[in-house]
Structure 1
Amino acid sequence: MTKTITAVDVECALVERYRRDGLGYWPQPEVVDVNGDRLRLDGVSLNIDWRNNMWISGYEVKVSRSDFLRDAKYLRYKDYVDDLTLVCPARMIDRDEIPEPVGLLWFYPDAPAGRPRLKYRRKPDPSGGDTRQIEHRLLKQLAQRITYGERPGRYGRFDSARQYVEQKRELDDVGDMLGTMLARRVQELERRLDPTMMRRMEQQSEAYGRLVEILNRHGFDQVSRWYRDDRPLDGQLEALDKALDHLVPTDTIDGETKRLIRDVEYLRRKLGLEDGE
Protein backbone atom coordinates (compact mmCIF):
# COMPACT_ATOMS: atom_id res chain seq x y z
CA MET A 1 0.00 0.00 0.00
CA THR A 2 1.35 3.41 -0.95
CA LYS A 3 2.14 5.60 2.04
CA THR A 4 0.30 8.89 2.16
CA ILE A 5 2.70 11.83 1.99
CA THR A 6 1.98 14.53 4.54
CA ALA A 7 3.15 18.13 4.79
CA VAL A 8 5.25 17.11 7.80
CA ASP A 9 7.16 14.58 5.65
CA VAL A 10 8.05 17.28 3.14
CA GLU A 11 8.96 19.79 5.85
CA CYS A 12 11.30 17.24 7.43
CA ALA A 13 13.14 16.93 4.12
CA LEU A 14 13.37 20.73 3.85
CA VAL A 15 14.77 20.94 7.38
CA GLU A 16 17.41 18.32 6.63
CA ARG A 17 18.45 19.91 3.33
CA TYR A 18 18.67 23.58 4.21
CA ARG A 19 20.07 23.22 7.70
CA ARG A 20 22.76 20.98 6.28
CA ASP A 21 23.67 22.89 3.11
CA GLY A 22 22.68 26.47 4.04
CA LEU A 23 22.60 28.80 7.02
CA GLY A 24 19.39 27.28 8.33
CA TYR A 25 15.70 26.68 7.84
CA TRP A 26 12.88 28.39 9.77
CA PRO A 27 9.27 27.17 9.68
CA GLN A 28 6.17 29.33 9.27
CA PRO A 29 7.35 32.95 9.45
CA GLU A 30 4.59 35.55 9.22
CA VAL A 31 4.42 38.79 7.26
CA VAL A 32 1.76 41.49 7.03
CA ASP A 33 0.74 42.66 3.57
CA VAL A 34 -0.30 46.16 2.51
CA ASN A 35 -3.95 45.39 3.39
CA GLY A 36 -3.06 44.36 6.93
CA ASP A 37 -3.62 40.65 6.24
CA ARG A 38 -1.29 38.16 7.91
CA LEU A 39 0.43 35.76 5.54
CA ARG A 40 2.24 32.68 6.79
CA LEU A 41 4.83 30.97 4.63
CA ASP A 42 5.44 27.28 5.22
CA GLY A 43 9.14 28.03 5.64
CA VAL A 44 12.22 30.02 4.64
CA SER A 45 15.87 29.10 4.25
CA LEU A 46 18.92 31.35 4.49
CA ASN A 47 22.04 31.28 2.35
CA ILE A 48 24.83 33.54 1.13
CA ASP A 49 24.84 34.47 -2.57
CA TRP A 50 27.91 34.93 -4.74
CA ARG A 51 28.11 38.61 -3.76
CA ASN A 52 28.29 37.64 -0.08
CA ASN A 53 24.74 38.90 0.57
CA MET A 54 22.20 37.03 2.66
CA TRP A 55 19.57 35.37 0.50
CA ILE A 56 16.10 34.43 1.83
CA SER A 57 14.23 31.73 -0.06
CA GLY A 58 10.57 31.04 0.67
CA TYR A 59 8.74 27.68 0.40
CA GLU A 60 5.10 26.69 0.03
CA VAL A 61 4.25 23.00 0.56
CA LYS A 62 1.40 21.29 -1.30
CA VAL A 63 0.65 17.59 -0.83
CA SER A 64 -2.65 17.32 -2.74
CA ARG A 65 -3.83 18.42 -6.17
CA SER A 66 -7.04 19.87 -4.76
CA ASP A 67 -5.14 22.10 -2.35
CA PHE A 68 -2.89 23.31 -5.16
CA LEU A 69 -5.79 24.04 -7.54
CA ARG A 70 -7.96 25.93 -5.06
CA ASP A 71 -5.24 27.97 -3.32
CA ALA A 72 -3.32 30.54 -5.32
CA LYS A 73 -2.59 32.92 -2.45
CA TYR A 74 0.94 31.52 -2.18
CA LEU A 75 1.86 33.76 -5.14
CA ARG A 76 1.59 36.73 -2.77
CA TYR A 77 4.49 35.35 -0.73
CA LYS A 78 7.04 36.12 -3.46
CA ASP A 79 6.78 39.83 -2.59
CA TYR A 80 8.46 39.17 0.79
CA VAL A 81 11.34 36.81 -0.15
CA ASP A 82 14.23 36.83 -2.60
CA ASP A 83 12.75 33.82 -4.39
CA LEU A 84 9.82 31.46 -3.90
CA THR A 85 9.56 27.71 -4.53
CA LEU A 86 6.56 25.38 -4.49
CA VAL A 87 7.34 21.96 -2.95
CA CYS A 88 5.20 18.89 -3.70
CA PRO A 89 5.40 15.08 -4.07
CA ALA A 90 7.17 14.07 -7.27
CA ARG A 91 5.05 14.38 -10.43
CA MET A 92 2.03 15.78 -8.60
CA ILE A 93 2.52 19.21 -10.21
CA ASP A 94 4.38 19.97 -13.43
CA ARG A 95 6.56 23.02 -13.93
CA ASP A 96 4.29 24.27 -16.74
CA GLU A 97 1.56 24.74 -14.12
CA ILE A 98 3.70 27.08 -12.02
CA PRO A 99 3.94 30.75 -13.05
CA GLU A 100 7.32 32.40 -13.19
CA PRO A 101 9.39 33.32 -11.25
CA VAL A 102 8.22 30.60 -8.82
CA GLY A 103 10.33 27.44 -8.71
CA LEU A 104 9.20 23.83 -8.33
CA LEU A 105 10.82 21.27 -6.04
CA TRP A 106 9.80 17.61 -6.14
CA PHE A 107 9.87 15.39 -3.04
CA TYR A 108 10.88 11.72 -3.40
CA PRO A 109 9.89 9.86 -0.19
CA ASP A 110 11.55 6.58 -1.23
CA ALA A 111 14.89 7.97 -2.37
CA PRO A 112 17.76 5.54 -1.65
CA ALA A 113 20.00 6.26 1.31
CA GLY A 114 22.54 8.92 0.46
CA ARG A 115 20.47 10.30 -2.44
CA PRO A 116 18.61 13.63 -2.14
CA ARG A 117 14.91 13.43 -1.42
CA LEU A 118 14.33 16.90 -2.89
CA LYS A 119 15.10 17.72 -6.53
CA TYR A 120 14.37 20.87 -8.48
CA ARG A 121 12.02 20.48 -11.39
CA ARG A 122 12.55 24.17 -12.05
CA LYS A 123 14.74 26.53 -10.08
CA PRO A 124 13.18 29.84 -9.04
CA ASP A 125 14.15 33.19 -10.48
CA PRO A 126 14.70 36.19 -8.20
CA SER A 127 11.37 37.74 -7.25
CA GLY A 128 12.80 41.03 -5.95
CA GLY A 129 10.68 40.93 -2.82
CA ASP A 130 11.07 43.13 0.23
CA THR A 131 12.60 40.77 2.81
CA ARG A 132 12.80 43.22 5.71
CA GLN A 133 9.85 41.77 7.64
CA ILE A 134 11.25 38.25 7.59
CA GLU A 135 14.75 39.52 8.40
CA HIS A 136 13.33 41.33 11.41
CA ARG A 137 11.46 38.25 12.64
CA LEU A 138 14.46 35.96 12.26
CA LEU A 139 16.72 38.46 14.02
CA LYS A 140 14.19 38.71 16.85
CA GLN A 141 14.12 34.91 17.24
CA LEU A 142 17.91 34.80 17.31
CA ALA A 143 18.04 37.57 19.96
CA GLN A 144 15.49 35.76 22.14
CA ARG A 145 17.51 32.55 22.02
CA ILE A 146 20.68 34.37 23.03
CA THR A 147 18.86 36.31 25.78
CA TYR A 148 17.40 33.17 27.33
CA GLY A 149 20.60 31.20 27.03
CA GLU A 150 19.59 29.02 24.09
CA ARG A 151 22.35 28.31 21.66
CA PRO A 152 21.02 28.39 18.09
CA GLY A 153 22.27 25.08 16.74
CA ARG A 154 21.98 23.30 13.48
CA TYR A 155 18.23 22.71 13.99
CA GLY A 156 17.38 25.88 15.90
CA ARG A 157 16.16 24.99 19.39
CA PHE A 158 15.76 21.32 18.42
CA ASP A 159 18.50 18.71 18.65
CA SER A 160 17.55 17.13 15.34
CA ALA A 161 15.20 17.43 12.40
CA ARG A 162 13.29 14.41 13.72
CA GLN A 163 12.67 16.16 17.05
CA TYR A 164 11.39 19.23 15.24
CA VAL A 165 9.00 17.17 13.08
CA GLU A 166 7.75 15.05 15.99
CA GLN A 167 6.93 18.10 18.08
CA LYS A 168 5.26 19.80 15.13
CA ARG A 169 3.12 16.72 14.51
CA GLU A 170 2.08 16.63 18.19
CA LEU A 171 1.14 20.32 18.10
CA ASP A 172 -0.79 19.84 14.86
CA ASP A 173 -2.73 16.94 16.42
CA VAL A 174 -3.58 19.05 19.49
CA GLY A 175 -4.61 21.94 17.24
CA ASP A 176 -6.85 19.67 15.16
CA MET A 177 -8.47 18.24 18.28
CA LEU A 178 -9.11 21.64 19.86
CA GLY A 179 -10.29 23.02 16.55
CA THR A 180 -12.78 20.16 16.18
CA MET A 181 -14.05 20.58 19.74
CA LEU A 182 -14.43 24.32 19.28
CA ALA A 183 -16.22 23.88 15.95
CA ARG A 184 -18.66 21.43 17.53
CA ARG A 185 -19.27 23.78 20.45
CA VAL A 186 -19.93 26.72 18.13
CA GLN A 187 -22.24 24.57 16.01
CA GLU A 188 -24.19 23.50 19.11
CA LEU A 189 -24.52 27.10 20.30
CA GLU A 190 -25.70 28.20 16.87
CA ARG A 191 -28.27 25.40 16.89
CA ARG A 192 -29.57 26.47 20.29
CA LEU A 193 -29.76 30.11 19.24
CA ASP A 194 -31.69 29.29 16.08
CA PRO A 195 -35.16 30.96 16.36
CA THR A 196 -36.99 27.75 15.44
CA MET A 197 -35.08 25.77 18.05
CA MET A 198 -35.69 28.42 20.71
CA ARG A 199 -39.46 28.42 20.02
CA ARG A 200 -39.47 24.62 20.22
CA MET A 201 -37.66 24.69 23.56
CA GLU A 202 -40.12 27.28 24.91
CA GLN A 203 -43.07 25.16 23.78
CA GLN A 204 -41.58 22.09 25.44
CA SER A 205 -41.07 24.04 28.67
CA GLU A 206 -44.68 25.26 28.63
CA ALA A 207 -45.96 21.73 27.89
CA TYR A 208 -43.95 20.36 30.83
CA GLY A 209 -45.45 23.00 33.12
CA ARG A 210 -49.00 22.13 32.05
CA LEU A 211 -48.32 18.40 32.47
CA VAL A 212 -47.05 18.93 36.03
CA GLU A 213 -50.14 21.00 36.90
CA ILE A 214 -52.46 18.26 35.59
CA LEU A 215 -50.63 15.57 37.55
CA ASN A 216 -50.65 17.63 40.74
CA ARG A 217 -54.36 18.39 40.36
CA HIS A 218 -55.10 14.65 40.24
CA GLY A 219 -53.04 13.95 43.34
CA PHE A 220 -49.69 13.05 41.81
CA ASP A 221 -47.21 15.30 43.62
CA GLN A 222 -44.09 13.26 42.84
CA VAL A 223 -42.91 15.83 40.29
CA SER A 224 -42.57 19.57 40.73
CA ARG A 225 -42.23 22.36 38.21
CA TRP A 226 -39.44 23.91 40.28
CA TYR A 227 -36.06 22.23 40.50
CA ARG A 228 -34.71 21.39 43.96
CA ASP A 229 -31.21 20.09 44.70
CA ASP A 230 -32.54 17.57 47.24
CA ARG A 231 -35.06 16.18 44.71
CA PRO A 232 -33.38 15.63 41.34
CA LEU A 233 -35.73 15.43 38.38
CA ASP A 234 -34.66 11.85 37.57
CA GLY A 235 -35.72 10.75 41.04
CA GLN A 236 -39.05 12.55 40.78
CA LEU A 237 -39.83 10.90 37.44
CA GLU A 238 -38.91 7.48 38.81
CA ALA A 239 -41.27 7.97 41.78
CA LEU A 240 -44.05 9.05 39.40
CA ASP A 241 -43.48 5.99 37.22
CA LYS A 242 -43.85 3.67 40.23
CA ALA A 243 -47.03 5.44 41.34
CA LEU A 244 -48.60 5.09 37.91
CA ASP A 245 -47.73 1.38 37.80
CA HIS A 246 -50.22 0.75 40.65
CA LEU A 247 -53.12 2.43 38.90
CA VAL A 248 -55.57 1.06 36.38
CA PRO A 249 -56.44 3.41 33.53
CA THR A 250 -59.94 4.90 33.74
CA ASP A 251 -60.87 3.63 30.27
CA THR A 252 -60.14 0.06 31.36
CA ILE A 253 -62.31 0.41 34.49
CA ASP A 254 -65.23 1.85 32.49
CA GLY A 255 -64.98 -0.93 29.91
CA GLU A 256 -64.97 -3.71 32.53
CA THR A 257 -67.93 -2.12 34.38
CA LYS A 258 -70.02 -1.96 31.21
CA ARG A 259 -69.19 -5.59 30.41
CA LEU A 260 -70.31 -6.71 33.90
CA ILE A 261 -73.58 -4.75 33.59
CA ARG A 262 -74.31 -6.45 30.27
CA ASP A 263 -73.62 -9.89 31.81
CA VAL A 264 -75.99 -9.18 34.74
CA GLU A 265 -78.77 -8.03 32.42
CA TYR A 266 -78.34 -11.18 30.29
CA LEU A 267 -78.61 -13.46 33.34
CA ARG A 268 -81.71 -11.66 34.60
CA ARG A 269 -83.42 -12.16 31.25
CA LYS A 270 -82.49 -15.84 31.19
CA LEU A 271 -83.86 -16.37 34.73
CA GLY A 272 -87.01 -14.40 34.03
CA LEU A 273 -86.39 -11.99 36.86
CA GLU A 274 -88.18 -8.70 36.87
CA ASP A 275 -86.51 -5.43 37.65
CA GLY A 276 -86.24 -4.94 41.37
CA GLU A 277 -86.30 -8.62 42.29
Structure 2
Amino acid sequence: MKTIVAADLLKLLAARHARDMFVPECRTGGALDEYHQRLDAWAIKRSWAHPQVIGYEIKISRADFLQDDKWRGYLPYCNEFYFVCPPSFIQRDELPEDAGLLWASTNAVKLYTKKRAPYRDVKIPESLWRSIIFSRVTIKGEPTGSGAREYWAEWLAERKVDEEFGWRVGRNIRQVVETQITAVAGENYVLKRQIATYKDIRQFLDLHGIPVDNSIHQFSAKRKVEALVRAVPNGLLQTLTHAQQGLERAHAALTALSNNQSEEEVR
Protein backbone atom coordinates (compact mmCIF):
# COMPACT_ATOMS: atom_id res chain seq x y z
CA MET A 1 0.00 0.00 0.00
CA LYS A 2 1.29 3.46 -0.94
CA THR A 3 2.36 5.73 1.90
CA ILE A 4 -0.06 8.62 1.62
CA VAL A 5 1.10 12.08 2.62
CA ALA A 6 -0.80 15.35 3.05
CA ALA A 7 0.28 16.56 -0.41
CA ASP A 8 -1.42 13.51 -1.99
CA LEU A 9 -4.71 14.31 -0.26
CA LEU A 10 -4.49 18.00 -1.18
CA LYS A 11 -3.94 17.04 -4.81
CA LEU A 12 -7.04 14.83 -4.75
CA LEU A 13 -9.10 17.65 -3.25
CA ALA A 14 -7.92 20.03 -5.97
CA ALA A 15 -9.00 17.52 -8.62
CA ARG A 16 -12.35 17.09 -6.86
CA HIS A 17 -12.95 20.83 -7.21
CA ALA A 18 -11.41 21.34 -10.64
CA ARG A 19 -14.50 23.28 -11.79
CA ASP A 20 -14.92 25.19 -8.51
CA MET A 21 -12.95 27.85 -6.70
CA PHE A 22 -10.39 25.95 -4.64
CA VAL A 23 -8.08 27.51 -2.03
CA PRO A 24 -5.43 25.36 -0.30
CA GLU A 25 -4.09 26.56 3.06
CA CYS A 26 -6.95 29.03 3.39
CA ARG A 27 -6.68 31.62 6.17
CA THR A 28 -9.91 32.78 7.81
CA GLY A 29 -8.59 36.33 8.34
CA GLY A 30 -5.71 38.69 7.70
CA ALA A 31 -2.10 37.85 8.50
CA LEU A 32 -2.09 40.39 11.33
CA ASP A 33 -5.31 39.06 12.83
CA GLU A 34 -4.23 37.12 15.92
CA TYR A 35 -7.49 35.12 15.90
CA HIS A 36 -7.33 33.85 12.32
CA GLN A 37 -7.22 30.12 11.61
CA ARG A 38 -6.04 28.12 8.63
CA LEU A 39 -8.06 25.42 6.86
CA ASP A 40 -6.09 22.81 4.95
CA ALA A 41 -8.40 23.43 2.00
CA TRP A 42 -11.50 25.49 1.22
CA ALA A 43 -13.76 25.39 -1.82
CA ILE A 44 -16.87 27.09 -3.13
CA LYS A 45 -19.19 25.83 -5.85
CA ARG A 46 -19.62 28.20 -8.78
CA SER A 47 -23.36 28.72 -8.38
CA TRP A 48 -25.43 31.80 -7.56
CA ALA A 49 -28.60 29.77 -7.05
CA HIS A 50 -27.10 27.09 -4.79
CA PRO A 51 -23.97 28.44 -3.08
CA GLN A 52 -22.01 25.81 -1.19
CA VAL A 53 -18.82 26.44 0.78
CA ILE A 54 -16.82 23.40 1.90
CA GLY A 55 -13.97 23.26 4.40
CA TYR A 56 -11.43 20.43 4.68
CA GLU A 57 -9.07 19.26 7.42
CA ILE A 58 -6.43 16.75 6.30
CA LYS A 59 -5.32 14.09 8.79
CA ILE A 60 -2.49 11.61 8.18
CA SER A 61 -2.01 10.69 11.83
CA ARG A 62 -4.42 9.02 14.22
CA ALA A 63 -2.90 10.87 17.16
CA ASP A 64 -3.38 14.21 15.42
CA PHE A 65 -7.05 13.45 14.85
CA LEU A 66 -7.68 12.28 18.41
CA GLN A 67 -6.00 15.34 19.92
CA ASP A 68 -7.49 17.91 17.54
CA ASP A 69 -9.95 20.28 19.19
CA LYS A 70 -9.55 23.30 16.91
CA TRP A 71 -11.60 22.00 14.00
CA ARG A 72 -14.88 23.33 15.43
CA GLY A 73 -13.49 26.82 14.89
CA TYR A 74 -13.67 26.13 11.13
CA LEU A 75 -17.44 25.55 11.11
CA PRO A 76 -18.47 29.25 10.85
CA TYR A 77 -16.45 29.50 7.61
CA CYS A 78 -18.15 26.73 5.62
CA ASN A 79 -21.54 25.13 4.95
CA GLU A 80 -20.04 21.65 5.04
CA PHE A 81 -16.93 20.38 6.81
CA TYR A 82 -14.94 17.21 6.05
CA PHE A 83 -12.02 15.33 7.50
CA VAL A 84 -9.82 13.83 4.77
CA CYS A 85 -7.51 10.91 5.54
CA PRO A 86 -5.87 7.74 4.21
CA PRO A 87 -8.13 4.67 4.18
CA SER A 88 -9.29 3.45 7.60
CA PHE A 89 -7.40 6.13 9.58
CA ILE A 90 -10.69 7.57 10.85
CA GLN A 91 -13.88 5.58 11.27
CA ARG A 92 -17.35 6.89 10.56
CA ASP A 93 -18.59 6.30 14.12
CA GLU A 94 -15.72 8.39 15.52
CA LEU A 95 -16.99 11.57 13.92
CA PRO A 96 -19.27 14.19 15.46
CA GLU A 97 -22.55 14.99 13.72
CA ASP A 98 -21.19 18.23 12.21
CA ALA A 99 -18.39 16.59 10.21
CA GLY A 100 -18.17 14.44 7.12
CA LEU A 101 -15.42 11.99 6.13
CA LEU A 102 -13.45 11.32 2.94
CA TRP A 103 -11.08 8.40 2.50
CA ALA A 104 -8.39 8.22 -0.15
CA SER A 105 -8.01 5.02 -2.11
CA THR A 106 -5.04 2.81 -1.20
CA ASN A 107 -3.12 4.07 -4.26
CA ALA A 108 -4.12 7.72 -3.62
CA VAL A 109 -5.87 8.23 -6.96
CA LYS A 110 -9.44 8.75 -5.77
CA LEU A 111 -11.50 10.02 -2.84
CA TYR A 112 -14.46 8.13 -1.38
CA THR A 113 -17.22 9.67 0.71
CA LYS A 114 -17.55 7.57 3.86
CA LYS A 115 -19.88 10.00 5.60
CA ARG A 116 -21.66 12.95 4.00
CA ALA A 117 -21.38 16.18 5.95
CA PRO A 118 -24.65 17.91 6.88
CA TYR A 119 -25.35 21.23 5.19
CA ARG A 120 -25.38 24.15 7.64
CA ASP A 121 -26.96 27.42 6.58
CA VAL A 122 -24.36 29.87 7.91
CA LYS A 123 -23.31 33.35 6.81
CA ILE A 124 -19.64 33.19 5.90
CA PRO A 125 -17.69 35.91 7.79
CA GLU A 126 -16.39 38.84 5.75
CA SER A 127 -12.87 38.31 7.05
CA LEU A 128 -12.53 35.11 5.04
CA TRP A 129 -13.69 36.73 1.79
CA ARG A 130 -11.23 39.58 2.34
CA SER A 131 -8.39 37.13 2.97
CA ILE A 132 -9.11 35.24 -0.25
CA ILE A 133 -9.54 38.39 -2.36
CA PHE A 134 -6.42 40.09 -1.05
CA SER A 135 -4.15 37.03 -1.07
CA ARG A 136 -5.38 34.67 -3.78
CA VAL A 137 -7.50 36.42 -6.41
CA THR A 138 -6.17 37.70 -9.74
CA ILE A 139 -8.60 40.01 -11.54
CA LYS A 140 -9.23 39.10 -15.15
CA GLY A 141 -11.10 41.12 -17.77
CA GLU A 142 -14.14 40.00 -19.73
CA PRO A 143 -13.40 37.51 -22.52
CA THR A 144 -12.42 39.42 -25.67
CA GLY A 145 -10.79 38.63 -29.00
CA SER A 146 -9.66 35.06 -29.66
CA GLY A 147 -10.02 34.29 -25.96
CA ALA A 148 -13.69 35.22 -26.13
CA ARG A 149 -14.21 32.88 -29.09
CA GLU A 150 -12.61 30.02 -27.20
CA TYR A 151 -14.68 30.82 -24.11
CA TRP A 152 -18.00 30.85 -25.95
CA ALA A 153 -17.04 27.81 -28.05
CA GLU A 154 -16.41 25.86 -24.85
CA TRP A 155 -19.65 27.17 -23.35
CA LEU A 156 -21.64 26.09 -26.41
CA ALA A 157 -19.96 22.68 -26.42
CA GLU A 158 -20.90 22.11 -22.78
CA ARG A 159 -24.45 23.29 -23.46
CA LYS A 160 -24.73 20.84 -26.37
CA VAL A 161 -23.53 17.99 -24.11
CA ASP A 162 -26.15 18.94 -21.52
CA GLU A 163 -28.91 19.07 -24.14
CA GLU A 164 -27.90 15.68 -25.59
CA PHE A 165 -27.81 14.19 -22.11
CA GLY A 166 -31.27 15.59 -21.36
CA TRP A 167 -32.59 14.21 -24.66
CA ARG A 168 -31.22 10.73 -23.91
CA VAL A 169 -32.69 10.75 -20.41
CA GLY A 170 -36.06 11.92 -21.75
CA ARG A 171 -36.05 9.22 -24.46
CA ASN A 172 -35.30 6.48 -21.95
CA ILE A 173 -38.04 7.71 -19.62
CA ARG A 174 -40.50 7.81 -22.54
CA GLN A 175 -39.60 4.24 -23.54
CA VAL A 176 -40.11 3.00 -19.98
CA VAL A 177 -43.48 4.76 -19.73
CA GLU A 178 -44.65 3.40 -23.10
CA THR A 179 -43.62 -0.13 -22.09
CA GLN A 180 -45.51 0.16 -18.81
CA ILE A 181 -48.60 1.56 -20.59
CA THR A 182 -48.57 -1.39 -23.01
CA ALA A 183 -48.23 -3.86 -20.14
CA VAL A 184 -51.09 -2.24 -18.22
CA ALA A 185 -53.29 -2.25 -21.33
CA GLY A 186 -52.66 -5.98 -21.75
CA GLU A 187 -53.48 -6.64 -18.10
CA ASN A 188 -56.68 -4.58 -18.39
CA TYR A 189 -57.76 -6.63 -21.43
CA VAL A 190 -57.24 -9.90 -19.55
CA LEU A 191 -59.10 -8.55 -16.51
CA LYS A 192 -62.03 -7.43 -18.65
CA ARG A 193 -62.28 -10.92 -20.18
CA GLN A 194 -62.17 -12.49 -16.74
CA ILE A 195 -64.83 -10.12 -15.39
CA ALA A 196 -67.10 -10.92 -18.35
CA THR A 197 -66.67 -14.63 -17.65
CA TYR A 198 -67.43 -14.13 -13.95
CA LYS A 199 -70.59 -12.20 -14.86
CA ASP A 200 -71.79 -15.09 -17.07
CA ILE A 201 -71.14 -17.53 -14.22
CA ARG A 202 -72.96 -15.25 -11.80
CA GLN A 203 -76.00 -15.03 -14.09
CA PHE A 204 -76.04 -18.81 -14.51
CA LEU A 205 -75.91 -19.34 -10.73
CA ASP A 206 -78.62 -16.73 -10.11
CA LEU A 207 -80.80 -18.39 -12.75
CA HIS A 208 -80.56 -21.70 -10.88
CA GLY A 209 -81.18 -20.18 -7.46
CA ILE A 210 -77.58 -20.29 -6.24
CA PRO A 211 -76.78 -16.84 -4.71
CA VAL A 212 -73.17 -15.72 -4.15
CA ASP A 213 -73.63 -12.29 -2.57
CA ASN A 214 -71.58 -12.91 0.58
CA SER A 215 -69.26 -15.44 2.15
CA ILE A 216 -72.17 -17.50 3.54
CA HIS A 217 -73.85 -17.63 0.13
CA GLN A 218 -70.51 -18.45 -1.50
CA PHE A 219 -70.05 -21.42 0.81
CA SER A 220 -73.63 -22.53 0.09
CA ALA A 221 -73.09 -22.10 -3.65
CA LYS A 222 -69.97 -24.23 -3.48
CA ARG A 223 -71.89 -27.00 -1.67
CA LYS A 224 -74.70 -26.90 -4.25
CA VAL A 225 -72.33 -27.03 -7.21
CA GLU A 226 -70.49 -29.97 -5.65
CA ALA A 227 -73.85 -31.71 -5.12
CA LEU A 228 -74.78 -31.17 -8.78
CA VAL A 229 -71.47 -32.59 -9.90
CA ARG A 230 -71.93 -35.65 -7.71
CA ALA A 231 -75.50 -36.08 -9.05
CA VAL A 232 -74.27 -36.57 -12.61
CA PRO A 233 -73.52 -40.30 -13.21
CA ASN A 234 -70.03 -41.20 -14.37
CA GLY A 235 -69.85 -41.28 -18.17
CA LEU A 236 -73.12 -39.41 -18.66
CA LEU A 237 -71.50 -36.30 -20.06
CA GLN A 238 -69.41 -38.37 -22.47
CA THR A 239 -72.50 -40.33 -23.57
CA LEU A 240 -74.46 -37.13 -24.17
CA THR A 241 -71.54 -35.69 -26.13
CA HIS A 242 -71.43 -38.74 -28.39
CA ALA A 243 -75.18 -38.57 -28.86
CA GLN A 244 -74.95 -34.89 -29.82
CA GLN A 245 -72.24 -35.67 -32.34
CA GLY A 246 -74.35 -38.51 -33.82
CA LEU A 247 -77.39 -36.21 -34.16
CA GLU A 248 -75.24 -33.61 -35.88
CA ARG A 249 -73.99 -36.20 -38.40
CA ALA A 250 -77.57 -37.43 -39.03
CA HIS A 251 -78.76 -33.86 -39.55
CA ALA A 252 -75.98 -33.27 -42.07
CA ALA A 253 -76.86 -36.46 -43.98
CA LEU A 254 -80.58 -35.58 -44.12
CA THR A 255 -79.76 -32.11 -45.33
CA ALA A 256 -77.57 -33.49 -48.12
CA LEU A 257 -80.31 -35.98 -49.15
CA SER A 258 -82.92 -33.23 -49.25
CA ASN A 259 -80.68 -31.07 -51.42
CA ASN A 260 -80.14 -33.95 -53.88
CA GLN A 261 -83.89 -34.55 -54.22
CA SER A 262 -84.51 -30.88 -54.89
CA GLU A 263 -81.92 -30.91 -57.69
CA GLU A 264 -83.58 -33.97 -59.36
CA GLU A 265 -87.02 -32.33 -59.30
CA VAL A 266 -85.58 -29.27 -61.01
CA ARG A 267 -84.23 -31.47 -63.85
TM class by shorter chain equals 0.3 to 0.5
Q: Greater Rg, structure 1 or structure 2? A: 2
Larger relative helix fraction: 2
